[in-house]
């Protein structure tokens, strides 16, 4: 499988809204496999297709310690969220080395297609609920820093732009 390039904030491609997957076929299965490899290599616990410049509604998540419980969500949508909220310290492969508190519903129910194109629903709480909401935000063109103050977003953006310039200068 291939490792994919993860877009880094503030890349404007991260703000694109993903389109629904029309059919789960061999092309989509390859994208899922490549996304999983990319997520595990990073290492991360979730990855949305938008983050690898594929603007289709695909998410992979694995919150297991041993990285042996890959969950695939094609055309996912949150169909219910709890009124109770919980704050979690979030990070993102597209915003490397930055973490901050984000408040989200503590439980969600998601409807999606699996890797075989079969529809399913999943109730999630804890870290899985946070990951689902975080990754589905990506499919809507929203990066977790959008929940932070303008001052924090600006600082993060400036630091990542500077880091990218320094990295490009080393080449």
Annotated binding site: 92, 134, 138
User: Is position 135 annotated as part of the catalytic site?
Assistant: yes
Helix (H) or strand (E) holding 75: strand 71-81
Name the nearest CA neighbour of 163 among 14, 50, 8, 52. Answer: 8
Between CA 2 and CA 6 the distance in angstroms is 12
Name the nearest CA neighbour of 86 among 71, 67, 100, 102. Answer: 102
DSSP string, 20-73: PPS---HHHHHHHHHHHHHHHHTT-SEEEGGGGT--BSEEEE---TTS---EEE
Annotated binding site for Fe cation: 92, 134, 138
Contact 3, 10 (CB under 8 A): no
- Looking at 84, 90, 119, 135, which residue is catalytic? 135
Between CA 145 and CA 96 the distance in angstroms is 12
Active-site residue numbers?
135
């Amino acid at each position: 499988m291939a490792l994919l390039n993860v877009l880094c904030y503030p890349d404007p491609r991260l703000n694109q809204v993903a389109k629904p997957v029309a059919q789960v076929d061999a092309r989509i299965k390859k994208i899922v496999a490549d996304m999983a490899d990319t997520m595990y290599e990073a290492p991360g616990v979730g990855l949305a297709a938008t983050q690898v410049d594929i603007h289709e509604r695909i998410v992979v998540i694995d919150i297991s310690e041993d990285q042996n419980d890959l969950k695939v969500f094609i055309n996912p949508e949150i169909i219910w969220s709890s009124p109770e909220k919980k704050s979690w310290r979030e990070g993102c492969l597209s915003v490397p080395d930055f973490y901050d508190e984000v408040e989200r519903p503590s439980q969600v129910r998601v409807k999606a297609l699996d890797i075989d194109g079969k529809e399913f629903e999943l109730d999630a709480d804890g870290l899985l609920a946070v990951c689902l909401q975080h990754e589905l935000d990506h499919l809507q063109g929203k990066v977790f820093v959008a929940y932070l103050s303008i001052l924090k977003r600006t600082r993060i953006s400036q630091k990542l732009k500077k880091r990218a310039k320094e990295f490009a200068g080393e080449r």
